[in-house]
Structure formats: C-alpha cells, structure tokens
Chains A and B, each alone.
Chain A
Amino acid sequence: MNSKRNLLRLAGTALLAPVTAQAALPSLRRRSSMADYFPNVTLETHDGRKVKFYDDLIRDKLVAFNMMYSICEGICPKNTANLRQVHEELGSRVGRDIFLYSITLRPEFDNAAALRDYVRHYNIQPGWTFLTGRRQDVERVRVALGFVGDDAKTDADITQHTGMLRIGNDRLDRWTMTPALGSHRQIKRTILELT
C-alpha cells in the first residue's frame, strides 16, 4: 500500500487516489477511454488551487459533478441542500475515495472568493469542491460533461440549467447520472454502487 501511495505522489496528483485491495481492479496506470475525451483544462477551486480537469479531478476517481451558480434562485438551493445531506451521509469517504464537484455556470461572476462565500453560506464541509475558471474552459467542461440544453434557446437560458448529477468511476469507465433533486438515499445508492 505505502509504495503505491508514494508512486502517486511522485506522479504529481493533487489528491490521493485510493488503493483498494480488489484483485479484479485494473492497474492504476491503465488509461480510461475518457482520458482522451475530457478536456484537460485548468480550473480554479473555491480555495484558490489550480487544477487540471481530467488529471486532477477525474483520473482514477469516483466523481460526481453538478452545475450551479451562486445567485440561482431556482433549483440550486434545493440541489445544494440535498447534496449536503448526501455528503453528510457519505461521511469521511467524501474527499477520500468519493469526490463531489460543483461547477459554476457563471464563471465571470463566481470567482473563487464568491464560491468560498457560497461554501460558507451553506456550511459545506471539505471534500466537496466548487470550481470556476476562464469562461471558455468552463464551457468546454460543461459541454464535455453533457450538461447541454436540447436546443440553442434552452441552452442559453440559465434558469433552465441542468438539475442532473453526473456520476462516474474513471477506473471502471462507467458513468451514469441521477437527478440532484432525487431522494438523497437514491443519490447515495447510485454513488456507492460505483465504488
């Protein structure tokens, strides 16, 4: 176990990827099909770190992404509250082997400081990272995650933004999604079934 951890540190990943003792798991060095698909742009976390979207946030991890913006008065407050409850129930696994991410739809307004305010306002615990960046980078990430409206009009209307939580396990190359407004028991189940 320790030697594998050291290897990961040397490889420069920002967060430790967990090593579980499952003989059936493929090697950590295996390149998932999504490695070429996701743009490896640089985003900024709410605590001011610069991260590479695929390498640092997704590679070899179990992740859940949703979209929000700080002044959203529609679905975001409920989504955030729901996800907070999921976060609580998953406990210390979040940030260890399960990673929650929220990406802003308004990167020009939601800079790191604004996202920190949001995190404080909702009393969000560590392990759940909020992300911003340059508009074109955040756009590429949004589109890559499939958070796109059906047509140009719906897509441009921010109040109709997605309420989906995109969940995936990069090592297993398996992705799904579930409504962020769904029952938190269901969200927790969907995440845990991917572990």
Chain B
Amino acid sequence: MNKSHTPGPDQASRSATGMSRRDSLKLGAASAVAAGLGLAPSQQAQAEDVPPGPPTAPWTMPLTVMRPKKPVAELNPPPTREAGPKEAGRAPHQIWGEPPHALYRIVVKEGQHSFHPNLPTQTIRGYDGTFPGPCIVSRYDEAALVRFVNQIDPYAVGFGSPEISVHLHNLHCASESDGFAGDYWGTLRHGPGLTRAGNYKDHLFMNYYAGFSTDPNGVGDPREALGTLWFHDHRMDYTEQNVYRGMIGSYILFDEIDSGNENDPNPQALRLPSGVGTYDQVLMISDVQFDASGNMVFNPMSENKGHLGNKITVNGKIQPYFRVQRRKYRFRFVDASVARFYEFYLMNGTNSEDFQYIANDGNLLEAPLTMNRVRLAPGERSDIVIDFSKYPLGTKLYLVNRLAMKDGRGPEGLVSRGTEVLRFDVAANPTTPDNSRVPERLREQPPIDLSQVTKRRFWEFDKKNSMWAVNSELFDVEKPAAVIPKGSTEIWTLQGHGSWFHPIHIHMEEFRILSRNGKAPPPHERGRKDVVALAPDERVEVLIKFRDFTGKYVMHCHNLSHEDHAMMIRFDVV
C-alpha cells in the first residue's frame, strides 16, 4: 500500500487503490440491500463506490430553517439530582443547585420525513421525530435541563438501536450528562454505564465556562466560550446507524460577547448577524444513500469503508433554496455526516466568492479570516458570515461541495464542478437597517502555556484484522485507557496510520492544535477545536485540559463506522 506523506489537510491526497473483483462484489451486494424500512433491493452497483441515487429536481423547496425550540414550563415528574424511579439509572448530577433556567422535553421517536418531493417519505428516528431534530438556544450561566424520552419500540425492526445515548458535542459537561457510549438506555434494556432502563433520562447542561470550579467568582474563563454545538446519538456499536437514521440536533450558546443581538447596546457585544432562524442560520449537512426506488438504505455489511450517501441534504432536504435579504447573515455549518468530508465554495457564476470565517468547531477565532472555502470533516463545525449586500437583486449564489470522495476512507481532492447543495436567492432589500458587524477582534484566546503540562500521552490510530484500534487496543467500555487528575493540562499526540483519514474528537474540553506534522496549523485552526482531521500517517499534537468535572469520557474517531468498530478510548477524570 503506498502511503504519501501529507504536509497538511489542505494538500492531503492518498494513493488510489485499484478495485478488486471482491470490492465490486461487495459493492454490488451493498447496493442490493434495502434497509429495514425500504422495499426490495435495487440493481447491482456500477463502478463507483456509491451508486447514483434516483433523479431529484433541484431547487424545488425552501430551506428548512432551524428556529429555537421552546422550553416547557415544567417537567413531570420534576427533575431531581438522583435519577427518578422511572428514569434510566444514571449517576446523580454532580452539580445540583438552583433549578435550571430552562427545561426542555425531547421525545426520541420514529417519524415520517420527506427528503424531497420526488422521493417517498422515509421512516427516520430522530429527536422529536424530525430530521434534523430541534435547535436549542442557550446562554452562558443559564443552565438548561433536557429530558429525553425514549419512545422507540424495543423490538423495532430495521437498522438503528432502540437504546440511545445522547451526546452534546462538545459542551463542557458533567460526565453523567455527556452521553458516554456505555450509558445507553431504553425502556427495556440499558448499557453497562447505567444501573437500569427507564422511560426518560435528564441531561443537565450547566452552560459554564471551563475553569468555573476554581474561579472564586464561579464564572470560569470567558475565553473558553463555545458557540455552535450539535447533539447526536452515541450508543456504542450503533452510533453510525442511529446518527444516519436521524438522531441529530443543534445547540447554540450565547454569552455577553457573542450575545445573539445585533442591536446589543453593550459595547462588549460583537453584534454579529443575529436572530436564530432569521439572520443566524444553522445548516446541518448529512449525506444519505438512496436506492433506485428512492428509499434510504443502510448496508450493515459494508462497515469497512464507512458509509457515503449519494444525496447531500441540508437541514434534511435535497438542494433547497434560501431567500436572503441584501445584508449580512451568519451561517453555522455542522458536518453531521457519518463519514463524508466537505469543502464548500460560494459560487457566483464561475466566481468563487469570499466570506468571513469567524468560528471553528463553534469557537470564535481571535480575528475573522477572509476565506473562500469551508472544509469540514465529520463532527466539525464552521461559522461564516456572508454579506449579500454586495450582490444585486436577482443574483443566485450556490453553495457547492467540491471535495471528491470515492469511499469512506477519506477525501480525494477537489473537482472543478462539484455538487450544488444549497442555493441563495438574493431576493429582497433588508426590511430594517443591517446594524450587524463583523468586528476586527472576535474573541481573545486563552494563552498557550506549556509550563502547566503535567503529562504527555501518545495515541496511535490504526487498523488490525479489520478492527479499528487505538494504541492497538479495542474500545473497552469498562476500563479507562487513561486516568487523569481533574485540573490537569496535558499534551496528546495523535498519530494516524495507513490510508485512512480519521477525524479525531475528544469530549469534555476544547483543545489547541500545537502542530500538524511539526508545523503550525493553518490560520483557521489556530483557535480552539474539538475535532481534528488526521490525514493518513499525519501526526498532530494538541494541548488539552480536564477541568471542573469528574467521570467517564471518550476520545474517538468521528468516522462513525470506525468509532463503532472500535476506534475509541474511555478516559476517566478523577
């Protein structure tokens, strides 16, 4: 197997491998499977790894806009520190004081979803039964408690698991609310991290800055603020199936600086384009594979390569359009795909337009960057601001994915034409003056202070006998691969091997990338992140702390096929 040395993700490439007869057979088999919710299988595969889907007319429906989910006035039974009698057997909330500021109830259930008017509706499994699930908007220092109610039939037929574990990626969060892979639950069964099954499970999201427990004011470091988060399933062995089937949602955090009000009188406020659902838009990107009959398919036997879809959906729809006013908008991209990488360009005819890149993995950079592309690995987020006032009424701009990917191994390189996934129609002048700004300074970053480092750890990501492993070990749900004293600062070296890309994700805290193959990371990766895409054979060093909470957490590859089989480690903070 040829391994090309990759200087960094921008120039990453890998040697192509020929398709053996076995591969073709496997793919033929792959395309012949209809998932439990589909009808009869389709015809044999062609030469591509992903057979083309059925034709769907572009630009036939508007973008589904994510609006803030409404909290509820009360929950019945009321939330308690210890798990309630009908609640799944979680550990008590390690912090429990005043009642949370906002209560939410999310029912995890099957629902009927239309990806496109040309396709039959599909049975998805999602939060509130929708694809994607709801968008929760929170503020720092205002705790949110979300009660997840599991209404999936324990004997449900088809891919996906009736037991779930919800992870809010990547809130600085107590372990018992972090959705540990072994903390899965349903009405009948439960995982080894819990003591019993239950109808519901409460997740408490304190919405505190990291460092709050050692801050005399109890506030923590505002430089550690998070922004664009997403929640998704994390049930060990079935994460890929559950996420693919629809268990995704979004979560936005505001604070005094990124305040969510573009008319904010507070001089500290950035006044970025605001209004979740108006000028502040979440764009969840998931690719789905459809067979010739238009049914969503998942072949559980092709987990080797990871699953690529043949249609890219934005907020659950194929090629929607979005009418915009001639003013600035903030877009929060979430790569919610189980394996696909993207590189998006904003095309105006043949021109690739510039925009302001402001946040990576939800974390505001020190200063905005003028860029013309958004590159995402599974799990990553990017916030950008597009100023549509530059364009005359009637202009149509296209969000185009130009990153080719043959199979789940990783991106190949750019293609000149790409796939159009979303169309922006510059349709109206602003209804009110655009007072939003993109200031020259966004958020101050915490200093990189290596003198605090107490330990270095080395993690190798590899494949042995068809099993994904970290340091040659398979994920052990019962045994931590690292035990870390609370409050530590460590340097972790992540080493990739073979011909695969691995987007590595660490729970609990954001990290800083110190180096990629010995060199500084590109400018848009110099802030705080929680997913780092390892190219084949790449070596990345990250600086990370483990503050405020104790308990079980995980690090894993966010190609969910790898995660499930079993490229994940448990680490315990004590």
**How big is the A interface, by class?**
35 or more
Partner of A152, one of B22, B41, B466, B467: B22
Query: What residues of B have a CB within 8 angstroms of the CB of A153 in the complex?
Result: 1
Task: Give the nearest-CB partner of A30 in chain B.
Answer: B157
- Interface contact B463-A172, CB-CB below 8 Å: no
Query: What residues of B have a CB within 8 angstroms of the CB of A24 in the complex?
Result: 153-155
Query: What residues of A have a CB within 8 angstroms of the CB of B98 in the complex?
Result: none
Query: What residues of A have a CB within 8 angstroms of the CB of B241 in the complex?
Result: 176
Interface 9-mer from A7-15, A110-118, A159-167: A159-167
Taking CB atoms and an 8 Å cut-off, the chain A residues in 172-189 that contact chain B are 172-179, 181-183, 185-186, 189
Query: What residues of B have a CB within 8 angstroms of the CB of A162 in the complex?
Result: 465-467
Interface 9-mer from B29-37, B52-60, B217-225, B508-516: B29-37
Task: Give the nearest-CB partner of A39 in chain B.
Answer: B29
Interface mask (A142-170 → B, CB under 8 Å = 1, otherwise 0): 01111111111111000011111010100
Task: Give the nearest-CB partner of A183 in chain B.
Answer: B476
Query: What residues of A have a CB within 8 angstroms of the CB of B17 in the complex?
Result: 150-152
Query: What residues of B have a CB within 8 angstroms of the CB of A3 in the complex?
Result: none
With known contacts A151-B1, A190-B237, A146–B41 Cβ distance under 8 A:
no
In the complex, A33 has a CB within 8 A of chain B: yes
Interface mask (A5-47 → B, CB under 8 Å = 1, otherwise 0): 0000000000000000010111000001110110000000000
Interface mask (B286-320 → A, CB under 8 Å = 1, otherwise 0): 00000000000000111111000000000000000
For the complex, give the distance between the alpha carbons of A181 and B238 in Å.
19
Interface mask (B12-33 → A, CB under 8 Å = 1, otherwise 0): 0000011010110110010011
- Interface contact B301-A176, CB-CB below 8 Å: no
- Interface contact B474-A181, CB-CB below 8 Å: yes
Task: Give the nearest-CB partner of A147 in chain B.
Answer: B466
Partner of A33, one of B18, B23, B36, B565: B36
- Interface contact B300-A172, CB-CB below 8 Å: no
**How big is the B interface, by class?**
35 or more
Query: What residues of B have a CB within 8 angstroms of the CB of A34 in the complex?
Result: 33
- Interface contact B22-A33, CB-CB below 8 Å: no
Interface 9-mer from B158-166, B247-255, B259-267: B158-166
Distance in angstroms from B465 CB to nearest chain A CB is 4
In the complex, A108 has a CB within 8 A of chain B: no
- Interface contact A163-B465, CB-CB below 8 Å: yes
For the complex, give the distance between the alpha carbons of A22 and B156 in Å.
12
- Interface contact B301-A150, CB-CB below 8 Å: no
Query: What residues of B have a CB within 8 angstroms of the CB of A148 in the complex?
Result: 22-23, 26, 304
A-B contact pairs, 6 of them (CB 8 A): A26-B157, A150-B463, A173-B157, A175-B300, A176-B161, A183-B476
Residue ranges of B at the interface with A (Cβ–Cβ < 8 Å): 1, 17-18, 20, 22-23, 25-26, 29, 32-36, 38, 40-41, 153-161, 163, 189, 191-192, 237-238, 241, 300-305, 409, 463-467, 474, 476-478, 499, 564-566
Top 4 A-B residue pairs of the complex, sorted by shortest distance between their CB atoms: A146-B301, A175-B300, A162-B466, A173-B36
Residue ranges of A at the interface with B (Cβ–Cβ < 8 Å): 22, 24-26, 32-34, 36-37, 74-75, 140, 143-155, 160-164, 166, 168, 171-179, 181-183, 185-186, 189-190, 193
Given contacts A160-B466, A163-B467, A175-B300, 7 further A-B contacts (CB under 8 A): A150-B409, A152-B17, A152-B18, A161-B465, A162-B465, A176-B161, A183-B476
